[in-house]
Structure 1
Amino acid sequence: MRKTIILIVAVLSLQANAQSWNLTGNAGTSPSTNFIGTTDNQSLVFKINNSEKLRLTANGRLVFHETNTQGFTNNLYIGGGNEIPSNNAGGVNYGNVAVGLGSLVANSTGVSNTALGFNTLGSSTTGSLNTALGINSMQFSVTGNNNVAVGHNTLGGIISGEYNTAVGFSALRAWGSTASVPLVGNTALGTSALLRLTNGNYNTVLGFNGFLNTLTANNNISVGYSNAPNANNASGNIYIGNNIAPYNSQPSNELNIGNWIVGNNGTIGIGQFNSQLPADGIAQDGERYKLFVKDGIRTEKIKVDIASSNGWADYVFEKDYKLMSLNDLSQFINKNGHLPEVPSTKEAIENGIELKAMNILLLKKIEELTLHAIEQQKRIEVLEKKMK
């Protein structure tokens, strides 16, 4: 009888061991039939010290549970930010990837977000289609959509906004931004580029410290190291080069390429200018210009358009043209020291000369001189006849 009881216990023990996973492993398993898990629609829970640390949810999320001195719980996710059910067809909170303490912990209805790093997208509740890689990147974003942040603190302070791209330590950090003033369409590449922007759209800044302290800016382009670091209320500016400083603290429609090509509101300057070009292109002589050049121009060909037929000097040859007599011309020269209509040396130095106008004027004087020469030739011929 005793042997029979021992045999029954041994058989039952073998059967129990055959239906369990041993601490030292099992042999003879088949992947098609053997598995660790449940046979109902319930999550699989792993515990340490009788405290849940890992959960494989019924809808496929892998949720790591961790509590630290900062009080974060359920803060490391792979496959989604929390355990709100999803049907993957219009359901809430699906298609998210969150890896890092505090990443996507507040997500409620946001979809297709990727958060990698401590606190990334930590405050996002409804934001979707965001990618945040790096500690504290997009940390305070609540409703932002379609943003890309790569690097520590990138887009860290943005509350609301879309289509922003920030790459580099603290690029577009945006501390102090508000939900009522969303940032839209900005691109910041480089450490601290657009660091403090809190109000602005469609800026593109590439380079370390570009627009560093700017709070408000729209439609600016900057390429290079430390350009316009203290500009504010900036709009429509283009800076290409390094250490470019705007002419004004609140620049608008400026162009500066390497401090050699500058512009303002469509007026262009080539050369190093100590003062800003006039926005309306009106120079000291009262005339309007679109291009200012320092230190000269050398070229093989210049062609100037003439607006109309009466813009040329051939009207001098018309019969009703009143030609100044040589005596009157002599008196004018003796009194003024230059030809009529031609600017004096002082005027030329102060105001410069307009090439087209000067060429037409010189042609006019040549044609007047030609008329005088013809008249003198006629008189010579008359005198020669009288002398014969």
Structure 2
Amino acid sequence: MKKLIITFSFFALNVNAQTWNLAGNSGTNPGNDFLGTTDNQPLIFKVNSAEKVKITTNGRLVFYNSNGITYSNNLYIGGGNEIPSNNAGGINWGNAAVGLGSMSANSTGNANTAFGFNSLASNTTGSGNIAFGINAMQNSVTASSNVALGTNVMAGFVNGEFNTAIGFQSLRAWGSNSNSTLSGNTALGKDALLNLNNGINNIALGYNIATNITSGNNNILIGTNINTFSNSPEKELNIGNWIIGNNGTIGIGQFTNQLPADGIAPDGERYKLFVKDGIKTEKVKVDIAANNGWADYVFQKDYKLMPLNELDQFINKNGHLPEVPTTEEAIKNGIELKEMNILLLKKVEELTLHVIEQQKRIETLEKKIK
């Protein structure tokens, strides 16, 4: 009888040990056969007797890293920290961190997405950020509503909002601090806005573009290997080094000096457009501001026409028509197209009056001869 009991016990133990075979199982029933717990406890996976992976009672997958366990309301895989979602400082929720070191300092920041080693590693209270890439927004602490895609993108960025950077170390902002203002900037391309530490509403699109800017606002740069005239530009435009601008003053062509922000040229006049190397066009229309801006006043009865003998004396003395700039003046100051056309029309009308007067004299002489 004793031998029978021992044999039965061994058989029962052997059957129990084979209920889940490491080499595979057949004939399982999902309703009865499973890996897991039957009480309200998480399922723990251990390596070398240490917890490494856990499925919580809420069904969330939690991975352990050097920062320990994560908690509910967030998805942390290889990232996150030990601060629970109901910590004393407030609730954090909607965060997703994938990658070792990612979002490891978060306390009350919400709705952040970090993907990549050390992405959003220093974030504590910032919310609504998307950081994809190794070290993306690594030093960001309180920044919110930013998008960073690429390795080292916004890596030195500490505080700011509504910035978008895509491309290797674009808008890296290394050296910025909590007092720096970075808002509404867009950087697309490798090294775009690399060193910008203070600035709002800047746009840089292209490879290695605007790397010299450390501070500046409302600048637009598009192209490759393009920098601004200074490290702190304001309202500057550069498209491919073909079209440039400064505070609404536009230039077309290669300029070695910055355009005047107020549009005032060396001749003292204000212009909106500066063009190098000429313009070729099929049509140009110039607006005339007032009626007295045209030259028809020459035909008024009270207009004083210079006598031909005085005109002859003036030409002999000066070598040009009255009111018309000299060659030296034209070369030095250029000519204003509208004013020159009006002046030329005036001279044509004066010449016409002289011709008419000469014709009257000729007709009078002809009558006397007859």
SS of the residue corresponding to residue 216 of structure 2 reads strand
Partner in structure 2 of residue 179 of structure 1: 178
Residue of structure 2 in register with 1:371 after alignment: 353
Structure 2 match to 1:208: 207
Determine if contact 1:79/1:95 at 8 Å carries over to the other structure: no
Q: Which residue of 2 aligns with 1:136?
A: 135
Change (3 A) 1:111 1:61: farther
1:302 is aligned to: 284
Deviations 1:167-196 (A, max 9, x none): 222222222222233422222222222222
Q: Separation in 2 of the partners of 1:278 and 1:66? A: 57
Measure the CA separation in 2 of the matches of 1:294 and 1:168.
Answer: 34
**CA contact 1:47–1:54 (8 Å) conserved in 2:** yes
Alignment correspondent of 1:65 = 64
Distance 2:259 2:182 in 1: 31
Deviations 1:21-61 (A, max 9, x none): 34445443211222222233222222223222222222333
AA partner of residue 186 (structure 2) = T
Secondary structure of 2:91's aligned partner: coil
- Counterpart of 2:192 in structure 1 is 193
Output the CA distance in 2 between the equivalents of 1:24 and 1:370.
113
Task: Specify the code of the residue in structure 2 equivalent to 1:362.
Answer: L
1:97 pairs with 2:96? yes
Q: Structure 1, residues 75-102: CA drift from partner, whole Å, max 9, x if none? A: 9933983466659xxx933333222221
Q: Where does residue 321 of structure 2 map in the other structure?
A: 339
CA distance in 2, matches of 1:353, 1:174: 47
- Name the CA shift for 1:375/1:100 in 2 (closer, same or farther; >3 Å): closer
Unaligned runs of 5+ in 1: 242-257
Alpha-carbon deviations, 1:146-205, whole Å to 9, x = none? 222222221112222222222222222222222233422222222222222221222222
Q: Structure 1 residues 343, 143: closer, same or farther in 2, change over 3 A?
A: closer
RMSD: 2.9
Alpha-carbon distance in structure 2 between the residues aligned to 1:342 and 1:31: 101
Give the aligned length.
363
Superposed, which structure 2 residues align to 1:237-316 within 5 Å? 237-241=236-240, 258=241, 260-316=242-298
**Residue of structure 2 equivalent to 1:5:** 5
Deviation, structure 1 residue 15: 6.5
% same residue? 65
* Structure 1 outlier segments of 4+, above 6 Å: none
Aligned residues of 1:45 and 1:56 also touching (Cα < 8 A): yes
Cα distance in structure 2, aligned partners of 1:273 and 1:305:
28
Q: Structure 1: how far apart are the matches of 2:143 and 2:276? A: 48
Within 5 Å, give how 1:116-135 maps onto structure 2: 116-135=115-134
How many Å separate the matches in 2 of 1:74 and 1:127? 21
Report the Cα distance in structure 2 between the residues aligned to 1:66 and 1:374, rounded to whole angstroms. Answer: 101
C-alpha contact (below 8 Å) 1:80/1:93 kept by paired residues: no
What TM-score, normalized by structure 2, do the two folds share? 0.86
Aligned partners of 1:64 and 1:77 also within 8 Å: yes
Residue 108 (structure 1) aligns with: 107
* Secondary structure in structure 2 of the residue aligned to 1:54: strand
Q: Distance in 1 between matches of 2:65 and 2:342?
A: 86
For structure 1, which segment, 134-143 or 1-10, has the greater mean C-alpha deviation from structure 2 after superposition? 1-10
Give CA deviations for 1:114-150 in whole Å, capped at 9, x if unaligned: 2222222222222222222222222222222222222
Structure 1 residues 158, 39: CA separation in 2 closer, same or farther (over 3 Å shift)? same
1:314 Cα deviation (Å)? 2.0
Q: CA deviation at 1:11?
A: 6.0
- Which blocks of at least 5 consecutive residues in structure 2 are unaligned? none
Counterpart contact for 2:65–2:79, Cα < 8 Å: no
**Worse-matched range after superposition: 271-280 or 99-108:** 271-280
Compared CA separation, residues 220 and 15, structure 1 to 2 (3 A): same
Asked if 1 retains the 8 angstrom alpha-carbon contact of 2:79 and 2:100, the reply is no
Aligned equivalent of 1:245: none
Alpha carbons 1:210, 1:229 under 8 Å: kept:
no
- Cα distance between partner residues in 1 of 2:131 and 2:260: 44
Partner-residue secondary structure (3-state), 2:366:
helix
Moved more, 75-84 or 183-192: 75-84
